A = this chain, B = another copy of it.
Amino acid sequence: MEKYKGLSPAEFFHRNREIAGFSNLARALYQTVRELVENSLDATETHGILPTIDVEIKVDENDSRLITITVADNGIGIPITEVPNVFGRVFYGSKYVIRQTRGVFGLGVKMAVLHAQITTAKPIYVKSSTPDSRVIYEYYIFIDISKNIPHIMKFNVKKKKRRWHGTVVRIVTEGSWILARRKIEEYIRRTALIAPYATISFKAPGTRLHYSRASRKLPEPPKIGKHHPRGVDIEILKTTIRSLENSISLVDFLSTYFEGVGKKSAEDFCKWAGFNPDTPISKLMLSDLERLARKMREYNKWRRPRSLTLSPLGSELLEEGVRNILEPEFVASVTRPPSSYGGHPFIVEAAVAYGGRIPVQNTPLLLRFANRMPLLYDEGVDVSRKVIDSIDWSIYKIKFPAPLAIVTHICSTKIPFKGVGKEAIADVPEVEHEIEIAIRDVARKLRTYLSKLEKMYEIKRREVTIKKYIDEVARALGYIVGNDSKELFRNKLLSLLNEDLRRRSIVRKGEEIGVTAKTASNS
């Protein structure tokens, strides 16, 4: 006889730590640092605060697997009553809203706490204060795994002396600094590059990185938004209806609770879909809701979602980042207009870089970012890699091996990650499509550049070839006409050649023939 039972979410993730990226001691340390840094960035820039983040890693002198990680930020802090759940309850958080943030699962930092407590039996230490609070509070927290609730070991409150706000988290965990070092350094470097408005310092055995903010200009923080009608499902409709206190008409429902839907467009949609706009939504049956959700997904006249909830980097910052990392000879970038999948708006940005210090490889070097997080693992199953591998690069005048790099950045209120470790992005058709358009767009710019380069090279070759004979021809013509005219011929021929070359480098491909025909007698 089989025995059946339920598990708490904490128990589930304790049993399946690999799923959240905690598959070995190197990865566990990397993931812990990453979750804490990303929480700190979310607690600052998302709320209009210029981030100042300190990361410190200490290795125990007697046991090199015992690692203490401290991350401190100047963010908005966590309300005193929320701290225990935020760190001690799986599936609990402030990020279950429609807004671009790095965190999304309400899971990352809890996994770090779980891993720490089951490997070292040490609680997590949290110190925090919100801007409006007059106290600073300190917690030592365990997770009660079988109940999925926080267990507070120790709690202190102190009066605030200076106007500090922010959060300090300290975790003692089992990890391998030696094995994780390269990845963590690379992670910090790329994070600093993608967030040039942040001051980040990193201290660890044998390493000290410090990035002062290069700019005090913070990108416009994302706003909290609504679902886009093209991406609703019946569950979203049901949840939204259930949250209402009074029943309202369908047209009011649509124009109030969905992104970019006005009275007029709600009415147009109802007409198209065969719904009476005045139906009270409380009267809609399950089958009506199913049809409503389906029709909302199919209707192709909704306004594209606005990007208020998103905070893309912008071309300028993206190209600057690429120049800093790769020092290429050519960069081009594009920020696509907003699109959406499953009710979630997203923006794809892409850059192409060529030459310079980019290593010559048989495939394009890929740098992936999602909501300004660098993604360093699991490239092999990422949608960007899939798109890049599907492109015939010879169309864009690339012959491998070549020094070619592609950067992709996806901003969304919900990145379709393949796992809760947040490393690879799934091949959701809408996202894949946008990535392909973006990459092909920058690839075309690269082709234009390479064509110009090719033509320049061709002109140079022509110049060299013709110049070789000019002296000889001038001498021969001079001999026929009279000795003193040799210099005259030489100058005349040279100026003809230069004019021809000049014309070739300006005129377009299609017009060249005419030019060649006109100057045929001279060349």
Contact = CB atoms under 8 A, between A and B. Distances in A.
A427 B378 CA distance: 12
Contact of A381 (B9, B96, B380): B380
A6 to B, nearest CB: 4
A23 B289 contact: no
Contacts of A419: 19, 418-419
Contacts of A424: 381
A426 B6 contact: no
Interface string A369-392: 000000001111100010000000
Contacts of A449: none
A4 B233 contact: no
A500 interface: no
A453 interface: no
Contacts of A3: 94, 97
A256 interface: no
A18 interface: yes
Interface string A454-471: 000000000000000000
A7 B428 contact: no
Contacts of A19: 417-420
Interface in A62-92: 76, 79, 82, 85-86, 89, 91-92
Contact of A24 (B15, B287, B385, B428): B428
B381 A4 contact: no
Contact of A12 (B5, B91, B380, B417): B91
Given A3-B97, A97-B3, A234-B118, A16 B91 contact: no
A429 to B, nearest CB: 6
Contacts of A287: 121
A235 interface: yes
Nearest to A114: B235
B121 A14 contact: no
B381 A94 contact: no
In the complex this chain forms, how many copies of it are found? 2
A5 B120 contact: no
A133 B4 CA distance: 17
A139 B144 CA distance: 35
Interface string A114-153: 0001111100000000000000000000000110000000
B2 A94 contact: yes
Contacts of A92: 4-7
Contacts of A91: 6-9, 11-12
A24 B121 contact: no
A8 B424 CA distance: 24
Interface in A1-53: 1-9, 11-12, 14-16, 18-19, 23-24
Contacts of A97: 3
B23 A428 contact: yes
B417 A18 contact: yes
| Residue of A379, A426, A427 ringed by the most chain B CB atoms within 10 A | A426
A15 B426 contact: no
B85 A18 contact: no
B76 A2 contact: yes
A480 interface: no
A106 interface: yes
Given A18-B426, A19-B419, A286-B121, A85 B6 contact: yes
A121 B428 contact: no
Q: Which 3 A-B pairs have the closest CB atoms?
A: A380-B380, A121-B290, A23-B426
Given A8-B91, A12-B105, A15-B96, 16 more contacts: A1-B79, A3-B94, A3-B97, A4-B85, A4-B86, A7-B91, A7-B106, A9-B91, A16-B105, A16-B417, A18-B418, A18-B426, A19-B419, A121-B286, A145-B239, A380-B385
24 contacts: A3-B94, A4-B82, A4-B85, A4-B94, A5-B92, A6-B85, A6-B89, A6-B91, A7-B96, A8-B91, A16-B105, A16-B417, A16-B420, A18-B418, A18-B428, A19-B419, A23-B427, A23-B428, A121-B234, A121-B287, A121-B289, A380-B381, A418-B421, A419-B419
